[in-house]
Structure 1
Amino acid sequence: MNSLRVRLLLPLILFGWLPALGAAKLMGNNLDWFFSSWGFVLLAGVFLGSYLISGWALKPVAAVMNATASVMRGVPPTKEVSDWLPQDFWKLRCDINMLFAKHRQSLNAAETHASQTSQRLLNAERLVREAFTALQGIFAASDEGVAVVDANGSIIASNAKLDDFLGAPLEEMSGRGVKQLMEAIANRFMEKDRMMQWIANTEANPQLRDEVEAETRDTQQRVFSVRTAPMQTETGDVIGRLWMVRDCSEVRGLKKQLRESQKLGTIGQLAGGIAHDFNNMLTAIRGNLTLAELNPGTSGNADVRDKLQSANQATQRAADLVKQLLGYSRRGNGSQLRKVTNLKKLLADVQSLLRHSVDPRVTVRIRAGMDASFALADATQLEQVVLNLCINARDALPASEGIIEIGIENVMHRSPQGGDTAEFAMIAVRDNGSGIPEDMRHRIFEPFFTSKDAGRGTGLGLSMAQDIVREHGGWIEFDTVEGQGTEFRIFLPRAQDPENIEEDVQSFDPRSMAGSAGQRGTILVVDDEAPVRAIAVNMLSFLGYRVLEAGDGQQALDIVLRSGEKIDALLLDIYMPKLSGRDTFKQLRAAGNDVPIVVCSGFVIDPDEFTILSEGRCPPVDIMLKPYSLDGLSKSMAKAVKTAHAPDTFSRQMTPPGSAPLSGPTPVMAA
């Protein structure tokens, strides 16, 4: 305000002084008069008048400016200022205040929005940083070697796995150029030219996605796959390319194992079919041999009787071999075939078999303690395990003075799974062979892994041995020293009750079982194989049963449900055309008939399956595996007939009301 007053004061003094100067000139005064005391008084009067005029003139302006400043600050003007303001200023003041209020509101909203935006940006930055850290961690921890190439052919990112594949850091091998990288990758493979041609094809086609596998140049000859794919925007523009290198040696090995497994599965199915047919033939052979032994003409000829017994023992050995084929065919887990087994006798049988499998110069010794050793086991499977270990020991023996020692001992041991110390039967197989190399020891139980020459092993022996022992509740351990030999130890839970061991076939006299025809009851034999059926009929007739025959399941249903015959028990085969043994059993139980049934088959059968098929009614009395012996058949059928004569069972096996009369074939009475 003072500067404005000064600017106004100077013109006022000038306009006041010049008229005074003109008036003095007209009055005849000279210029010296102005420098006299009167001139100074006149100048002071002009200055005072100009000062007063300027103050008066600027007072409204000062009032407006003060009022405007008050409006700007939101403070009402003073009374002195208000007196100089026009009435319309108050309306202007209200408009200005409203304008400033809206402005302040907009500023506050903008400040709040800016604060929220800033917070969102901070959160977004944090999320981007976390996502980048996670992606960087995934990128670094990837099992694949990865290189990211931009559109200009420069490598913008790579991970440590790629450095491991190249054998040195990427910067040292190829810098950051994609061409140098591709050449370094191609140099790692045996077929470098083919890899370079493939790389050139990808460069010629920016949209190409492709993968190639090849073996590396190193001594291990591992297999790596190289994949490439373009990086594209949403519009489809290519902005770079990914190159990925992955070790697929293990996958290729697994594929090879799968092919071998499928091949073995096919062999297993074939083995199962052969085993079924072979068991039927063995049943006929064994049954005829047994009946020949019972012939009065041979009872007085000791030489013939001994030969028949030898043939019978051979059929038993053949049956055991067939059970091994059934194990390969996976027709059952074999748990229903486990019995209390004398392990000392089992090792003696293994020693007898080894005489024909090893060089006569190899010494095979049995070392057994004084205590008896029993285990609940499938003797055939356990024999297979010990034989596998002995055959492996044989292949590792030196050219001369080879020794295989088989030992058995009862020990107190803790299971690898933990728990209290318990009693185990330990079977040890030792040899003085070459031992197992250090780098192979962790793989010897892998399926299809073998250190033998091509054609000498499938790599399944130890794997199957371990599976069988585990199924029996045990485990296998081994110790080995290169150049000195190996010892495998099989631990099996020890059985305390040896009374359930079946007696040998030679220990019973079949003539004591003979009886008069029909004396013991009526048996229906159901089998589609006529020779097998005839053997069962002859054996049961010799044992004193009245025997009926049926060639299939439908004929058996007609005889049991609609013929009116009183059937004490059924000997039912499983695999038959037209109507299988399973369907026959299921329909009998569904019809309310609880006639006791003994199931027999050339395959291993799961008892739980028939428990389900019985639908809450009577399950099979027994399950027999072909070829069955006269002793086994006698025990099973005696048990079935005893069940049939029980009062609660007899009432349930009567023909249901409303059954139609027999319309099928007439039952056949065995001679």
Structure 2
Amino acid sequence: MAIERLTDDADRQVFGTAPLRILHLEDSDLDVELLAAVLDDIDHPYVIERVMTRERFAAAAQSGCHDLILADYVLPTFDGLSALAIARVACPDVPFVFVSGTLGEDVAVEALKGGATDYVTKQRLDRLPRTIVRALAEVRARREQRAAEQALRELNETLETRVEERTRELADANAELLRQIAERERVEEALRLAQRLEAVGQLTSGVAHDFNNLLTVISGNIAFLERVATDERSRRRLDMMRGAADRGARLTAQLLAFSRRQRLAPTPVELNHTVASMRDLLQSSIGGAVRIEMTLQPDLWPALVDPTQIELVILNLAINARDAMAVGGCLTIETANVRLAERPTRPEHPGPGEYAMVMVSDTGSGIPAQVLDRVFEPFFTTKDVGKGSGLGLAQVYGFAKQSGGGIRIDTTVGEGTSVRVYLPRVERGAQALPSKAETVDCAAIRGPGAKPAILVVDDDSAVREITVTMLREAGYAIREAGSGLAAIKALDGDPCFDLVVLDFAMPGMNGAEAADEIRERWPALPILFVTGYADTTALVKVGAVGEERIVQKPFRDGELERKVAAALRNRPAGRLRLVADKAGGT
């Protein structure tokens, strides 16, 4: 009998590297030897466990430690079909091959239907190696198929979860993209609003300054004409002209407040006291139909603001609130300490920091969204003609920003509006050290009984003429300069002036720069600003921030003469301080 040799590598791969474990059901010793001889020729290590009874076969099958079952069909106390039934239950994945000498075709077909892998007659044992290879290959294929099916089931089971996770990731990414787009649009809109307000502010401040110069000439000449007017009709007309000039001055003051060019005298202010003291004024201004409520924080921080301007701000907001409430309502004023950490998202919002906050709320009609973006623009109003100038909130905006704070508006259409004004809290500031200076005796230069000498500096000749005329009539010795540089040269030639009356807005060296140079070289020389607007930052730098050192154009009711006299009373007597000799000016 020629045994079929296994030379194909693919055939050998089905055996693997471990010995082949065979469960052999056979009662004939001779047949066992013949089978062993065939297996030896396969050229692969193997281990045979031989059994002959039902009990031992069943126990061996249940152990699950065999790769192949070879079984005779007929045994003295047992039969192959019964063994096949036991194997299908105990180890269904192990291939079952009948090896019998009495297995007919009908029996073989029945065995295959019962689950046998194959059958080999003992007369053709040469077929056994190929049968074993095919049986093991089928087992291996079934295991790989089951593994693939299991992997597919697991993939299907996790597919829905992975789809949900990916969908969620895409939704989150889309939401973040939409958030970034919305944030970019918000920032762009805030930038456009800030640029619009800044452009309007620059235009407004320039117009107001020029307008104040014109009003100064008008008011000054009205004052001169009043001295010579004798008939009642002329005086009445001059009064009408003065009233119009005063109204124009108030209008420019509101414009300067919006453009942050108004003069401020910030001092520590107890807002609770300010608000409480205004109750009667507010009630009379808004009428008895509106109820006023106040909620004041007991330990409120002092605010560093101009006390007069904050009263105007509160009054403006109260009047706006009254106009928003058609038939009565409730006006609530609250104060609170506020710490802000977030960065501003709109031009009017305050930056991070600590603030004393005052809030004015109403139960009125609220502000529509399309109006809210424009409420701070000067001359924008929703009120009827003649009932509002559109400068109220613009003035509040300018005051808050110039003071170093900001505003927030919360509004709901049909329910009401709350306006929060944030004002910087008072903090301890550093004090400058006194500097050494040389001195010169101006009393000896001027001589006894000399009139106080005033240097008037203004680039507008018409305004300068009004100023000089007023001061000369008040009894002062006057010298004029048309620019900051001319003023420095005049002081280089004669430093013994008693006062410099200095216009703030001038081409070339402006008033702040000229004051800087004067204070550096002649630190004891008092300076009085005459201006249509004033950059507070520059005024703080030169030390002239108080009301007593600034005269607003146009001049009102002898204000120029009074403040000049006050500045002269406070000047050093007889000696003028110098820090260095800078001959030739700047």
- TM-score category (smaller protein): 0.3 to 0.5
TM-score (structure 1 length as normaliser): 0.42
Higher RCO, 1 vs 2 (CA within 8 Å, ≥6 residues apart): 2
Pick the structure with more helix per residue.
1
Q: TM-score, normalised by structure 2?
A: 0.47
